[in-house]
Amino acid sequence: MDPISITLPVQAVETTMLASVRMAAFLVIAPPFSQRAVPPFVKVALALGLALAVAPRLEPVPSDTTPAFVGALVAQAVIGAGLGFLVSLVFSAVQSAGSLIDLFGGFQLATAYDPLSQTSGAQFGRLYQMTALVLLFASDAYQVVVAGLVRTFDALPLGALLDPAALASTLTEGLTQMFLAALQIAGPLLVVLFLADVGLGLLTRVSPALNAFAMGFPLKILLTLSFGSLAFLALPGVVESLAGRSVREMLGVLP
C-alpha cells in the first residue's frame, strides 16, 4: 500500500504564516488578549485560527528568497505590534481614570501586588481595568476589535508597508485622546474632591483649631467610595465607545 502524501501550496502556507504573525503580534499587545490570564498557547491558537480564516482571500506575497520572506515576517510583526499598541493606548484611558481617582482620593499609598500583570498598583486603577476587561468579554466588544484587525488586511495588504509618519501622528493623537477620555471618566469625581479640599480649607480659615488633615482623609475616602462606585454605571458605554474608537484608530493609521 502506497503511503499517503499531502502536498500544500507554498504560497498559501507563506500567506497563512504572514497573516498569523500579524495576528499574534497584535494579540500579544492589544487588550483584552494581552493579559497574563490568557495563556500563550491560547494566543497562538487564536492567531493561527484567525489567519486560516482570512488567508484564502489574501493576495500572495512574492518572496523568492529566504531573506525576503524573513523580512516580510518582521514587517508583519511590526505592523501587528503597532496596531496592538494603538488599541492598548485607547483602552488605557479606563486605567488612567482609576489612577487619577487613586491619586486625588488618597488611595495611591494603598498599593497591592497584582499577580496577573506582576506589577504593584492602587485599588481603583486595578478595579477599573479589570471591570473594563470583563465588560469587553461580556458585551462582545472584543469581537469589534478582532473584526477591525481583520479589516486591516483590506486596507494594508501583506506586501504593503506601514507609513511611520502616519503611525507617529496617530500615536500622538491617541495619547491626547487617552488623557481626555481619562479626564471625562474621572472628571466629575475629581471636581467633587477638589470642592471638598476647598471646603476644608475655608473651614480651617474660619476655625483654625480644627484639624483639617484629620477630617480630610475620612471625608475624601467616603466621597471617593461613594461617587467612584457611581462611575461604574457609565463604564459599559465607555467600553463600547472605546472599542469603536480603537477600530477607527487602527484603520486611520493605514493608507
Q: Say if 5 falls within a structural domain.
A: no
Q: How confident is the model at residue 205 (pLDDT cuts 50, 70, 90)?
A: confident
Tell me if 3 is assigned to some domain.
no
Sign, CA dihedral 19-166-151-128, equals positive
Q: Kindly report, residue by residue over 228-248, the tens digit of the pLDDT.
A: 777 777 788 888 888 888 777
Candidates 5, 195, 194, 171; CA nearest to 89 is 171
pLDDT at 1 over 60: no
Which band of pLDDT confidence, cut at 50, 70 and 90, is reported for residue 8?
low
Average pLDDT in the 188-201 region? 84
Query: Is the residue at 145 inside a domain?
Result: yes
Angle 106-110-112 from CA coordinates, rounded to 5°? 145
Nearest to 133 by CA among 242, 24, 43: 242
Q: Estimate the crossing angle of helix 141-155 against helix 235-252, to 10 degrees.
A: 10
Residue 91 lies in a domain: yes
pTM: 0.79
Q: Containing domain of residue 160, as a range?
A: 10-252
The residue among 54, 243, 64 whose CA lies nearest residue 156 is 54
| Residue 1 within any structural domain of the chain | no
Residues 6+ apart with CB under 8 A from 73: 17, 18, 21
pLDDT per residue over 99-150, tens digit each? 888 888 877 777 766 655 566 766 777 888 888 888 888 887 888 888 888 8
Q: What is the mean pLDDT of residues 51-73?
A: 81
**Could you identify the residue written with the cell 489567519?**
51
Residue 226 CB neighbours (<10 A): 11
Dmax (CA) of the chain: 101
In a domain, 2, yes or no: no
Can you read off the three cell numbers belonging to residue 239? 467600553
Any domain includes 55: yes
Q: Give the model's pLDDT for residue 216.
A: 76
3-state secondary structure of 77: helix
**Residue of 248, 75, 45, 46 lying closest to 164 (CA atoms):** 75
User: Please, what is the average pLDDT of the chain?
Assistant: 79
Following DSSP, what letter does each residue of 35-74 receive, concatenated? STTS-HHHHHHHHHHHHHHHGGGSPPPP--SHHHHHHHHH
Residue 39 falls within a domain, yes or no? Answer: yes
Across 2-11, 34-43, 173-182, least confident range? 2-11
If one counts the domains in the chain, the total is 1
Question: CA of 184: how far to CAs of 93, 105, 174, 178, in Å?
Answer: 9, 17, 15, 10
